[in-house]
Amino acid sequence: MHDDRSITEHRLRRVLKERIKPAVHSRSVPLTVERWEAPGEPVPVAEGLAAPYGPCAIGDPWGPAWGTTWFKVTGTVPADWAGRTVEAVLDLGFDRMMPGFQCEGLVHRADGGEIKALNPYNDWVRVADRAEGGERVEWYVEAASNPVLVDHAATYEGDRLTSGDQPLYRLARMDLTVFETEVWELVQDLEVLYDLMIQLDTREARRHEILRAIGSALDAVDLTDVPGTAAAARAELAGVLAAPAGASAHRISAVGHAHIDSAWLWPLRETVRKVSRTASNMVNLMDEHPEFVFAMSQAQQLDWIKTYRPELFERVKKKIADGQFVPVGGMWVESDTNMVGGEAMARQFLYGKKFFLDEFGIETNNVWLPDSFGYTAAMPQIVKLSGSRWFLTQKISWSQVNPFPHHTFWWEGIDGTRVFTHFPPVDTYNSDLGGAQLAHAARNYREKGRGSRSLAPFGWGDGGGGPTREHLARAKRQRDLEGSPKVSIERPDSFFEKARAEYEDAPVWAGELYLELHRGTYTSQAKTKQGNRRSESLLREAELWAATAAVKVPGYGYPYEDLERIWKTVLLHQFHDILPGSSIAWVHREARDTYARLREELRGITLAAQLALAGEGAEELVFNCAPHARRGVPAGGAGRPAEPGEPVTVEERHGGGHVLANGRLLVEIDGRGLIVSVYDLEARRETLAPGSAANLLQIHPDFPNMWDAWDIDAFYRNRVTDLVELDAMEIAESGPAAATVRVTRSFGSSTAVQAVTLRAGSGRVDIVTDVDWHETEKFLKAAFPLDVKAERTASETQFGHVYRATHTNTSWEAAKFEICAHRWIHAEEPGWGVALLNDSTYGHDVTRDVRPDGGQTTTVRLSLLRAPRYPDPETDQGAHTLRFSLAPGASIGDAVREGHALNLPERTLTGAGPVTPLIAVDDDAVVVEAVKLAEDRSGDVVVRLYESRGGRASALLTADFPLSAAVESDLLERPLAGSAVGAPTPAGAVPLTLRPFQIVTVRFHRV
């Protein structure tokens, strides 16, 4: 037989595009269109409906960036269409290749109720399945003219304050049409078979069977009467569509999904509308397709629907009760997991799962994080303590260097907890269920021979949209189709139950799921990161002192509502495109304002509680909210601090500079203003590598290959400029309590003023860096070359720390050239170590080198500032204050203590006398992470703590109030079986036994 494959394939492509698809809507009449431009921000629906509309015509430009245009469309179904299926086609001027990233609309009835949303793959609205002639249509389209910002070019369109006012779109079509059901079905048949066919090897008979059937179907189509001949064409395809899949065919659980970034290339307020638009389409699709299942994560997004679209929320609730609309994830938002603090991660689950339980009576079992930029090794324990059983991610498929070896596996965290995890081989969380993607999933699946199934989230995402009727048609045809994986639409838990049942002994991956991409997100948008860290710290303070006051001070009311509202705001801003710094300028401008507002509110809550605790008096009291005693003031208490240790001295250094000493450290700053020696007087050894300088600011070029705000590529290291030129150096403070040397430098268009301080009794050197940053595509680092032979470093993560190798023996270690640490990173050789601490920096890098003298230099650097141009061209521009400290001779325990101390400053008030801690623990290895009152408002005290050093711990937890019982609880403050908590002693002490890095939540029932 002659090979005519290419002829038939080309014929199909042309006939589909030019004849069959246009015939889906066979007859049309124009609708009458009027318009109203909403001034400024979006208006309530009632205002849009009542607005004064003016004339509008097809082809008219509309919509400046971030504007809202309301279109009123009216018309009448022609009498001769009676009994036909009638739809309106409402094309706002869509680019068909970019769903979710451009203009969108929501269609309302005249009474304000939502009908459905409009987007590039969903531009239709059903009028009637069997229309009546003369039927009137009156709809109102709330159209958002969001600018297209996906081309990675620097633009000021990412903020309404700087965007242009020219129209971005032209109205393309507003018609009533006859919908030809049989033609639409033919399109689905042909597309599914074509997509399947081209994935099959040309040597397979199945490919040629499909080819011949397609050829016969095209022969059956009369191109002058497609609607009249569509059924005959479909009959030619029925045989190949009916052929069943083989017994060993891969099984795909298709889960409807619309990954909606809570902010990214659009602001938070637009996400509120995106969520409503998507949800309205999903419940409509469910009405027509009872087999359709749609999974939606992020409690915040459902809460937005509840708040802003209550009618839609009731429809969603009904579909949830019916089992079609499935809440997943259990978190308030799909947050970043690298930089979010431990307690904040716990609250993501507390408030997320609590919302699902309160609103829908549903306990979510899975953690759904397809798009976050790597996953902390602390996550498995947090997942388990939240009451969840499964974990799903997709993003690891983006890694640049090392393909991840598993798709279904047990993920083991730093404490040993394991969670059953799936990483879909379809390699997208926006699947279209097309033949290419399904074939890729089957070929790519790495568990062949042991497992047989994978999950595919399908539907348009990122900017929302969700599944369409075309997606469901593909799923239906590929349920059991020869040559294709078997596709079943089902709930995520159904997939996980089946996957675990067939592969209980799946392999284990221990440690973090490091994404070999997007490493710049540890640094971009420094003020957003600083706002997050400081909000977490302020929330700790506010809850601790408010709980203490509520228990100890009669009449003091615990501010439940305020604290919950603030927590949810902080959690929202931990979304994986806000905290990582990868959103448009509008998002980060609002974030800065939000953090400033929260800061003042939290300070007010804290001050009110402290004033209530201090009482009337003139005694100076220092409140210590850190988890360890400092200067003699106990953790969680207030009192007069102890006198500092040996006073600080300042001397001139031979050859220029200054020498600071306090009996513990001897610090030399040379004539360039660089630290050239930090001598540990107690250990009698030097901290810095010979001939090196610490606190060395360095500038690199920063122009990654693709994702500006997201990425740094390893080649940035090939060029570096050491900032050693000095503008000025002076002694800014000299006294027995502290000495400070201030150093000023200019570079490029920027300046840096660094204050190097040594305090009496302190074992650390504190550095405050004020940078007025006006560089573009540059990367600012601070280097500390240490005379330490460290095979690995420890970086603080949530509820513990993670070790990473300093060598690059394999591609896996080499790929981790930029890493995340929270409050500290620690380098150690047996018997002596050094901690580098910070108050708001997350990005770090560690390199090692062997010197000619045989010693090893381990250089630890903090990543301070970046200056990418996309998506915010003004990223990090302006003034910053960054604090970090060097602690020579520090153990892991010292790093934990000093890291908290740096991030949790003391507060000084006058009062009647000392305040005893509400809760005390007798082992410094056990860190109290949070003290609060229970969410159920019972008045119970909830304490969350963890073992911080990676060893076993036995401790006594003492409550300074009468209690009836102490119960170990999960993150939702529900009792846990098998407790690490012993029975309270008569004195109110609770014995604890903790394994390494174990998190324990203790709920104290008060008498």
List residues with catalytic annotation.
Answer: 371
Distances (CA, A) of 850 to 721, 785, 788, 815, 825: 22, 12, 11, 21, 21
* Contact between 514 and 401 (Cβ < 8 Å): no
Distances (CA, A) of 584 to 64, 98, 412, 641, 990: 17, 18, 35, 46, 49
Cα-Cα-Cα-Cα dihedral of 977, 983, 989, 994, to 10°? -40
The helix (run of H) or strand (run of E) holding residue 860 is strand 856-866
Which residues have CB under 8 Å from 472's CB, separation 6+?
A: 285, 289, 291, 292, 489
Burial class (CB in 10 A: 0-12, 13-18, 19+), 151: exposed
The residues facing 685 across adjacent strands are 680
Instruction: Report the interhelical angle of 560-572 vs 342-360 (nearest 10°).
Output: 110
Q: What angle do CA 453, 454, 457 make, to 5 degrees?
A: 145
Distances (CA, A) of 307 to 273, 311, 362, 945: 12, 10, 20, 35
Considering Cα of 993, then 995, then 996, then 999, what sign does the dihedral take? negative
- How many H-runs (helices) and E-runs (strands) does the chain carry? 18, 52
| Dihedral pair phi/psi, residue 18, rounded to 5° | -100, -15
Most distant pair of Cα atoms in the chain: their distance: 103
* Contact between 621 and 908 (Cβ < 8 Å): yes
* Secondary structure letter of residue 448 according to DSSP: B
Structure tokens at 59: 């082809």
Coil, helix or strand at residue 376: coil
* Contact between 962 and 984 (Cβ < 8 Å): no
Q: How far apart are CA 474 and CA 489, in angstroms?
A: 11
* Secondary structure letter of residue 573 according to DSSP: T
Instruction: Compute the chain's Rg from CA coordinates.
Output: 31
* Contact between 704 and 520 (Cβ < 8 Å): yes
Which residues have CB under 8 Å from 405's CB, separation 6+?
A: 446, 507, 509
- Which candidate, 171, 140, 182, 25, places its Cα nearest to that of 88? 25
- Which candidate, 174, 159, 157, places its Cα nearest to that of 69? 174
| Dihedral pair phi/psi, residue 146, rounded to 5° | -75, 135
- Which candidate, 243, 234, 244, places its Cα nearest to that of 190? 234
* Contact between 486 and 475 (Cβ < 8 Å): no
